[in-house]
Structure 1
Amino acid sequence: MRLKKQLKEKVMESVTSVLPITFIVFLLSITVVPMETGVMVLFLFGAMLLIVGMGLFTFGVDLSMILMGEGMGVSMSKAKNMLIPILITFFLGAIITIAEPDLQVLANQIPSVPNLTLILAVSVGVGVFLVIALLRILFKIRLSILLVIFYGIVFLLAALAPSDFVPAAFDSGGVTTGPITVPFIMAFGVGLSTLRSDKASSEDSFGLVALCSIGPILAVLLLGIFYQPEAVTHENTMVSVNTTVEAMHAFRVELPLYIKEISLALFPIIFAFALYQIIFKRFGKRKLVRALFGFGLTYIGLIMFLTGVNVGFMPVGQLIGSEIGGSPYKYLLIPIGMVVGYFIVTAEPAVHVLKTQVEEISNGLITQNMIGNSLSIGVAVSVGLSMTRIIFGINIFWILIPGYLIALVLSFFVPPIYTGIAFDSGGVASGPMTATFLLPLAMGACEALGGNMMTDAFGIVALVAMTPLITIQVLGFKTEMQRRFTKRRFQKRVEQMDDVITYYD
């Protein structure tokens, strides 16, 4: 009964997340972007799959991936010989990244680099940085210091890499921290910090996704310098669907492909979980049954979610961008993009995982609404900036360098827990909804406006990953200032009461 109630709550949460973006697309279809009946049915059926899929996925993650991640994190932190945890952590980071479906999409976008080479390089990058995250927690190294060092290296390499290649490289940081990697990595961080009872243990449980997002950027930039690729391409997602029958045929054709893709993606994770259980025997029979049930729900939910967004949302995103970009009202791309960005981030499955864990670890001090609003504002700003770049041809460095500079400076003035959450949220916000709706939206607009697809359309994922770093840390700065003001006011009142008591004495 309890599980049934939790599942119902997850599905209702998905409904409230997906309905706003569905309403926006419907409104656009009867105003500035007329759509064929088949295309609209494609989108609405995709939205239905999205709602059910996200509900099943988030519920399944609670039962399986989080349990697995926390358990492995605890075991790693207990180990006396550091070599074994380091090797296991590297292996887990690499194998889970290889399993990420979005990594295949990234590999196809960069034809000058062999797919296997890119996949292995990115996986090694995530594995190395997950080890760095492990060592950071164990040795209590401040996250902001590591971020300054590694982002300094990132921008140095970006200056050396081909200019057409840079936006796609920065996009890779958000693409590879997707719905499979994020829940596990976040739970792994919670497990690693569990055995520490000091004040900073909860703060250090965040920041793993932040560091793991840097690994792919460095790996892809290094490949760009080594291979000197001439261009980055992307598959055209425009479709011609005129009837409801054609719409349903599109789903029937694509569904088996995603069943196979998710099977291959989840198998390494389930294998790692089984191996871990055989060696450590951490979980009892009841928890094992719940975990297996959770993996089943995660599997079904991911199939439905990815089928919905790739078949139903991707073509509609590119159609909207193309129609508005090619119209006399091209400047509407900026406000429309901002509204879409504000609501679409709530439909990212990993965002729900982040908000729940933040509220639990902070004991309710940082609520889900606070994080959700900050993320929505950040993504709205990033999409607005992306549309502005496409219209006016602004170099991405003019936005990325000041943005990351502001974010890194803020990290020294806000409580560390907000820095960890902010930089984690960057990887979480730039998930499959960004890759399959916002990126095609940008590509459609760029193509209609005659821009450079490589330098103008690409980079939207990077900006979506950047702006929450600022908005959530501003939230932390504001909260800290309020706390200090309240503390000073309380101390002043205490002093006044002491003066009164002294006077009467």
Structure 2
Amino acid sequence: MNLYQNRFAEKLREALTAVSPTIGIVLLLSFTIAPIPPSILLLFLFGAVMLIVGMMFFTLGAELAMTPVGERIGTRIAQSRKLGIVLLLCFVLGFVITISEPDLQVLAEQVPSVPNAVLIVAVAAGVGVFLMIAMLRMLFSKTLRMLLIIFYLLIFALAFFVPDDFISVAFDSGGVTTGPMTVPFIMALGVGFAAVRSDKHAEDDSFGLVALCSIGPILAVLLLGLLYHPENTAYTPSEIPVIRDSVELWKYFATGLPQYIEEIAISLLPIVAFFAVFQIISLKMKGRALLKVVIGILYTYVGLVLFLTGVNVGFMPAGNYLGETIAGLSYRWVLIPIGMVIGYFIVKAEPAVYVLKEQVEEITSGAISGEAMGLSLSLGVAASIGLAMIRVLTGISIFWFILPGYFIALCLSFFVPKIFTAIAFDSGGVASGPMTATFLLPFAMGACQAVGGNIVQDAFGVVAMVAMTPLITIQVMGAIYKYRSEHTEDSGPVEASYLDTWADDDIIEL
């Protein structure tokens, strides 16, 4: 019992540390240049409390259940030695996990041109196919770099034939579908696969699964753009609620809570069913190990319900109103630095980021620290939100940012250790989670509405920008480490933190 109390206290501290800066920034803006009505401020603060408690439960649940179950399933699938079964299970698992992703439901509601069910099934199939490709890469030790170059060339070639209204949404879908449900499972699956391989680069190849699985949704939505030609693709923003007292505040959250209780239950059901079947047939976990997983799944469920209720009900109205108010100022350019500051801190509150940082520290035995990862992600997201706000204010096409951004990222992959490329492209999907979709996207929408822009073309794409810039910043970090290692080889023994063996790509073997 004391152990669990200590773990809860640790996770609560992490959640408070992650969310407090964002709360502070919003409060500072509300009392200075962007006054917020009391009703929206109350929604935001109440939502922040739910978000913190939800993050505490979710991170503990992912640690207890999602990660170990993913590793065990990955190990058993790889041990089957039957390629057909491996690929079939990977497709089913990718499909099931993606349908379980709450962020995908949010995206589907925001795309007026395609029926929700069609979009969800297409995106889930895209993730399933690319999880199969990712596993084939691991099984046959193929280079991630070449696959990324081939598929992104295909994406950009296809994008030239797709209507403009689909492009931003397509790139957004790649980031949104790798959220708090998908990332723990897919990353742990890669670790499980790597455990079966005996070569020295197996652990390097355990990264890159999220990177490849992020490509599937982009291609799926671009293909849908070729098939669907709707006359009206205009997006209608939701109305900002008016709350007069605390009773109405509670009623507003009480109305939203049952919706997410049901939604997360439906989302978790396929994963639980898949685990139950695998447990009976293959895993056969017993006693404390099985109880720990069950408790972890319950924690994950409670955490996601509280987290998504808090961000959807409390954060979305505040983000939308702030963006609209700041963009309505005579000095609307201030939207760019404010967006960058919010982006720097808000990525720290993404649940999947914690999973990635812990996984990276574990696989690299601390050689790549969680702090360095966090700093790189924060800098990348800050830059991406600044660029996104420039798009909102000017209406510049997303192509002018995405094309050079991915070109730079793919070029960097030739000059940095392989593991940094894999982690960087994984980080792109991880950084663009529910906090981005439910605060930064409404923030951009509100600003776009205030300046009279096209919301579908100019505001959408924020998630895509957030997913792109970490590819560059983390690989830059890899280039710095490689430079240090090459220039310390002749100066005698150095600390392990300089990663002195990385010059030969033996990154893990310190």
Same fold (TM over 0.5): yes
What percentage of aligned pairs have identical amino acids?
Answer: 56
C-alpha contact 1:37 1:244 (8 A) present in aligned 2: no
Q: CA deviation at 1:244?
A: 2.8
In the alignment, which residue of structure 2 is the partner of 1:218? 219
Q: CA deviation at 1:232?
A: 5.2
Q: CA deviation at 1:476?
A: 0.5
C-alpha contact 1:118 1:220 (8 A) present in aligned 2: yes
RMSD: 1.2
In the alignment, which residue of structure 1 is the partner of 2:291? 289
The reply to whether residue 473 of structure 1 matches residue 457 of structure 2 is no
Q: CA deviation at 1:285?
A: 1.9
In the alignment, which residue of structure 1 is the partner of 2:304? 302
Q: CA deviation at 1:51?
A: 0.8
Distance 1:130 1:488 in 2: 42
2:79 maps to amino acid: K
TM-score under structure 2 length normalisation: 0.95
In the alignment, which residue of structure 2 is the partner of 1:28? 29
C-alpha contact 2:57 2:303 (8 A) present in aligned 1: yes
Q: Cα–Cα, structure 1 residues 235 and 261, in superposed 2: closer, same or farther, change >3 Å? A: farther
After TM superposition, list the pairs within 5 Å mapping 1:142-153 onto structure 2. Answer: 142-153=143-154
Distance 1:139 1:262 in 2: 36
Q: Which moved more, 1:215-224 or 1:176-185?
A: 176-185
Residues 436-481 of structure 1: per-residue CA shift (max 9 Å, x gap): 0000000000000001111110101000000000000000110111
In the alignment, which residue of structure 2 is the partner of 1:452? 454
After TM superposition, list the pairs within 5 Å mapping 1:27-66 onto structure 2. Answer: 27-66=28-67
C-alpha contact 1:323 1:445 (8 A) present in aligned 2: yes
Distance 2:5 2:77 in 1: 33
Residues 406-431 of structure 1: per-residue CA shift (max 9 Å, x gap): 00011111111111110011110000
In the alignment, which residue of structure 2 is the partner of 1:240? 242
Q: CA deviation at 1:144?
A: 0.7
Distance 1:217 1:229 in 2: 19
Distance 1:213 1:198 in 2: 27
After TM superposition, list the pairs within 5 Å mapping 1:66-145 onto structure 2. Answer: 66-145=67-146
Q: CA deviation at 1:182?
A: 0.9
Distance 2:198 2:373 in 1: 25
C-alpha contact 2:91 2:129 (8 A) present in aligned 1: yes
Distance 1:143 1:80 in 2: 22
Residues 372-428 of structure 1: per-residue CA shift (max 9 Å, x gap): 000000000000000011111111111100000000011111111111110011110
After TM superposition, list the pairs within 5 Å mapping 1:354-365 onto structure 2. Answer: 354-365=356-367
Residues 108-167 of structure 1: per-residue CA shift (max 9 Å, x gap): 222322222211111110000000010011100111110000001111111110012100
Distance 1:408 1:232 in 2: 34
State how many pairs are aligned.
491
C-alpha contact 2:380 2:473 (8 A) present in aligned 1: yes
**1:406 alignment partner, one of 405, 408, 412:** 408
Residues 225-254 of structure 1: per-residue CA shift (max 9 Å, x gap): 111244252542522234333222210110
Q: CA deviation at 1:283?
A: 1.9
Q: Secondary structure at the match of 2:490?
A: helix
C-alpha contact 1:39 1:247 (8 A) present in aligned 2: no
Q: Secondary structure at the match of 1:172?
A: helix
Q: CA deviation at 1:334?
A: 0.3
C-alpha contact 1:38 1:246 (8 A) present in aligned 2: no
C-alpha contact 2:36 2:322 (8 A) present in aligned 1: no
Distance 1:355 1:282 in 2: 30
2:107 maps to amino acid: L
Residues 355-387 of structure 1: per-residue CA shift (max 9 Å, x gap): 011001000000000000000000000000000
In the alignment, which residue of structure 2 is the partner of 1:341? 343
1:28 maps to amino acid: L
In the alignment, which residue of structure 2 is the partner of 1:323? 325
The reply to whether residue 484 of structure 1 matches residue 491 of structure 2 is no
Q: Secondary structure at the match of 1:488?
A: coil
2:477 maps to amino acid: L
2:63 maps to amino acid: D
C-alpha contact 1:165 1:232 (8 A) present in aligned 2: no
In the alignment, which residue of structure 2 is the partner of 1:366? 368
C-alpha contact 1:174 1:461 (8 A) present in aligned 2: yes
Distance 2:242 2:159 in 1: 38
C-alpha contact 1:36 1:241 (8 A) present in aligned 2: no
The reply to whether residue 387 of structure 1 matches residue 389 of structure 2 is yes
5+ long unaligned stretches in structure 1: 492-505
**Structure number, greater radius of gyration:** 1
Residues 322-367 of structure 1: per-residue CA shift (max 9 Å, x gap): 0011111211100000000000000000000000110010000000
Distance 1:317 1:115 in 2: 24
In the alignment, which residue of structure 2 is the partner of 1:495? none
5+ long unaligned stretches in structure 2: 494-510
Q: Which moved more, 1:330-339 or 1:111-120?
A: 111-120
In the alignment, which residue of structure 1 is the partner of 2:172? 171
1:127 maps to amino acid: G
In the alignment, which residue of structure 2 is the partner of 1:502? none
In the alignment, which residue of structure 2 is the partner of 1:443? 445
